A and B are shown apart, each in its own frame.
Chain A
Amino acid sequence: MTKVTLSLRLNGEPAETAFAPHKTLLEVLREDLALPGTKHGCELGECGACAVLVDGRPVLSCLYLGVEAEGRSVTTIEGLAEGPELHPLQRTFADLGAAQCGYCTPGILLVAKALLDRTPKPSRPQIKEALSGNLCRCTGYLQIFDAVEQAIVDMTAGGSGPSARGGDGGGR
């Protein structure tokens, strides 16, 4: 099958690849761009594990063709931290038990980031609504809500430094 080429901005850097045109963005990210942090769970847009940001908006990459990302900016979990510095959401998720098995976590973190980018101080109902397309079978969601709310506090305080919570692993 003839491959198509794709040029995009991936996690802040230019990237190019070529693949069979029917491949989803999820498959292109995992198989052609060596970014396995984005997960698959249902193949039909129900679980949210494959969520990534395209031009800052959450997209279910299992329902989005790779070719549609041409010229766009895509953010995956691998691009959420700035260098070695975790995003505040990543810190609070790690510190407050919001990730158990961690499989749904990348998708949830990106959807939460998109929420905070557009609504810096969401209420809990707004957080619930925003994350209602992401299934988590481990946590019961409550520690996820807590982590999002703590990240809002941390970001408002302007602190991107290590979180006060957690043991010695905190902030690294």
Chain B
Amino acid sequence: MNVVGKPRRRVDGRAKVTGQTRFADDLVLPRMLHARLARSHLPHAEIESIDAAAALAHPGVRLVLTGKDMPVAYGILPVSHDEHALCLDRVRFVGDPVALVVAVDEDAAAEGVERLRVEYRPLATVASPAEALATPSPRIHDYGDQGNIHKLVSMEFGDVATGFAAADEVFDDVFFFQGNTHLAIEQHASLAAVDPDGKLCVWSSTQTPHYLHRALTKVLGIPAAHIRVIATPNGGGFGGKSDPFNHEIAVCKAALVTGRPVKICLSREEVFYCHRGRHPVEMRLRTGVKRDGTITAMHLQTLLDGGAYGSYGVASTLYTGALQTVTYRIPTYRFDGCRTFTNKPPCGPKRGHGTPQPRFGQEAQLDKIACRLGIDPADLRLRQLVEPDSLTANFMRVGTIGLRECIEKVVAGSNWRARRGKLGFGRGLGLACSSYLCGAGLPIYWNDLPHSGVALKLDRSGGVTAFCGATEIGQGSDDVLALLVAEVLGIDPFDVRVVTGDTDLGPVDLGSYSSRVTLMMGNAAIQAAERARALIAAAVAEKLAVPPGRLVFADRRVFDAEDPARGTSFQDAVVLAEAAHGTLGTVGSYKPPTSAAKYKFGGVGPSPAYSYTAAVLEVEVDPDAGWVRVVKVWIGHDIGRALNPTLARGQVEGSVYMGLGEALMEESAFRRLPPKRSAALVHKFPSLLEYKSPTTLEMPDVETYLIENPDGAGPFGAKEVGQGPLLPIMPALANAVFDAVGVRIDEIPVTPEKVRKALDAQKQGGAGRHGPARFPDVPWPEPLRVPTPWEGGDGRASNEKPRKRDQQPHAPIAPEVVR
């Protein structure tokens, strides 16, 4: 390997440390106007009127847009186009935008917002999933499965009743995972302008320029070919910049109307309203086990608090049930999922998208099972790991699985077997495992198109430029692109210029979500680079009179493997190739393999590969204050291959950090104001002062083990590392707290208050547990019944009405039929 596996400075490292990375809000254009959004102060109301006269009379204000200026609905998923750039006739949460004021500067725009007169007629509000279930009307949306239930799914793989009957013990637990938010330090910003040639161009802090492109063409009614979306490097994403947002569409409209560039940068408070963060999820998990711990059946029910819009919610709901099966053998499995609408900022995808909540429940329950059966929690897991190259009960195709090595590493590193349960009251160890996708196997718009494309340009300068729509959000996607091209061509990543995140300049890549970029863009990059190498090799082979297969590309040279002195510089090789073939350019593309899950809703969960993680946390618990301090973390991550170990380690440590924030303190919580003050549902912590996140002082030492067992699906065997390592942290922490002080906190975050409550309850002879008492009653539908692979199932449900096709026809960028 020339480059792969070597710790290196990332290609964009210098820009970042010199302050030269240009984020969206850093951009300035001549004659630029500034915009602010007017947002609803009510959680649910009809808009009766908007009077903009006083705002327009402000000398600095140039334009006021309202919902009727952009009446076309959009949304990230084709099944839930339920958003408008500015609310048309109804607001659904405190912070829902109703108008855009465009002015000569931000102060004037803010003054214009103050001058708007908006009349509302308040409506009854829904604060929680329980309220949503009990309050079918007024409906927050006029679509969805029923009342204020957005999505209701049920599916059964094999016969769980038989599975439970075969169990020696059935564990039945209820868990709650509070929502939290991404808290990227960069606030969302967008700048829109009409290009000199009359086309629309927008620079935006988005993880998904392709989907913003789709939303813009739909709402604005402009051909996609006349819209250019440039995703500026994101100052952190974590899923929070993956939806097309109100402000992005509204500034584009404003630029078209005024003919001037229009910029908006959200305030930190507004970022909390944009949200799309982790769904609060209530869970009931029943698991049947044999006396030796062997799982015979699992039945998971999840209830998601979706907030006011669809966002990725249907996918989020399915993700709460999709990946339970890919770590341990689960012979029969039933999943019921329900997402409700509530009058709060919309939830969506945050790092781990829908899977950390049920993973918390599953791993916390496994700890209880191990404890009751007297089995070491590590052994309980090691005994029943999923086999490599196998199908799970719900038809997820597992390729490589390095979870055994992950567990063995963290068990050895933490001296688990000698220390667990023996550290004395107040100190403990906890273990948990997890798995995550390496890219969603199906695109958001089902079609036959590549998920990622890479184009290369080479010329006589010896320079190589790689073009791709992939989006740099800090994770290092630009570095992956450059290093893979460099690896194949035997040059240095510094020799490769990358042009990314630009819908005009690069082939489509679906975006930085679902941990898909390394695998999908990576495979496309390798294909493009191998095609370029073949062109160069043909020309050099002729010149040197050796077979092309004998040529080696390394150290910026192309040479004969049998006589390394015979060769040419890479630049001379490109000159030979350009002379032989004409102008040089190659392309590569990637599309995931067909999924084995053919049943309805089987589109969520399949992936070309799964990463695996195991973690042990050591904690110190102050029983008087309830305070939990994390002393150390050992984490093993099955990455397949670490392309740049420096960045891989950073993703692991960053995931541990974010997981600790979720485990200990971060929460998006709301309170209802008293009726005399509008009964509004207001965010408790819409600021960085009150929303607590870990600082340098809370961050423990982390021992990271990268398990490299190359997976055939990944570029040089690489799997994901950006999201998976977050998943085991929350359950490992809860399990460690139990080891330390003997109480179960079945709720995330594990705050001092909850630890104290559980300890107090235990002292008074109670169960020593803090968590939800019961799971709400949900009107579950008849489940889809899918025979498992070991029952001879073919991936289809036996009771499903035949669908027209397994795949939708090619969906071009055009207004879609919604809902």
Interface residues of A (CB under 8 A from B): 20, 30, 34, 36-44, 46-47, 49, 76-78, 80-81, 86, 89-91, 93-97, 99-106, 109, 127-129, 131-145, 165-170, 172
Contacts and interface: CB of A to CB of B under 8 A. Distances in A.
Nearest to A1: B107
A42 B687 CA distance: 7
Contact of B689 (A46, A80, A165, A168): A46
A139 B650 contact: yes
Interface string B695-714: 11101011000000000000
B6 interface: yes
Interface string B1-30: 001001111111111111111110110100
Contacts, number: 197
Contacts of B596: none
Contact of B19 (A43, A78, A141, A142): A78
Nearest to B269: A43
Given A36-B26, A140-B654, 14 more contacts: A39-B235, A41-B185, A46-B689, A49-B185, A95-B9, A101-B233, A103-B474, A104-B185, A134-B696, A135-B693, A136-B185, A137-B185, A141-B699, A168-B495
A143 B650 contact: yes
Contacts of B15: 102
A81 B18 contact: yes
Q: Which of B18, B182, B235, B697 has the most CB of A within 10 A?
A: B18
Identify whether the interface residues of B are mostly helix, strand, loop, or mixed.
loop
Given A46-B689, A101-B474, A138-B474, A37 B695 contact: no
B309 interface: no
B606 interface: no
B128 to A, nearest CB: 28
B13 to A, nearest CB: 4
Interface of B: 3, 6-23, 25-26, 28, 107, 182-187, 233-238, 267-268, 473-476, 492-495, 646-647, 649-650, 653-658, 687-689, 693, 695-697, 699, 701-702
A28 to B, nearest CB: 14
B13 A95 contact: yes
A135 B184 contact: no
B11 A169 contact: yes
A83 to B, nearest CB: 12
Contact of A102 (B17, B649, B655): B17
A97 to B, nearest CB: 4
B703 to A, nearest CB: 10
Contacts of A142: 653, 699, 701-702
Nearest to A37: B19
B234 to A, nearest CB: 6
A37 B20 contact: yes
A34 B184 CA distance: 24
A77 B18 contact: yes
26 contacts: A39-B185, A40-B25, A41-B187, A42-B688, A46-B688, A77-B18, A77-B19, A86-B14, A90-B17, A94-B16, A95-B13, A95-B646, A100-B475, A101-B16, A101-B474, A102-B233, A103-B235, A132-B695, A135-B693, A137-B185, A139-B653, A139-B654, A140-B655, A141-B657, A143-B649, A169-B11
Contacts of A128: 696-697, 699
Contact of A131 (B8, B646, B656, B696): B696
A37 B16 contact: no
B17 A141 contact: no
Nearest to A136: B185
A61 to B, nearest CB: 13
Contact of B687 (A44, A81, A141): A44
Nearest to B476: A100
Given A131-B696, A140-B653, A169-B9, A38 B183 contact: no
A168 B492 contact: yes
B12 to A, nearest CB: 8
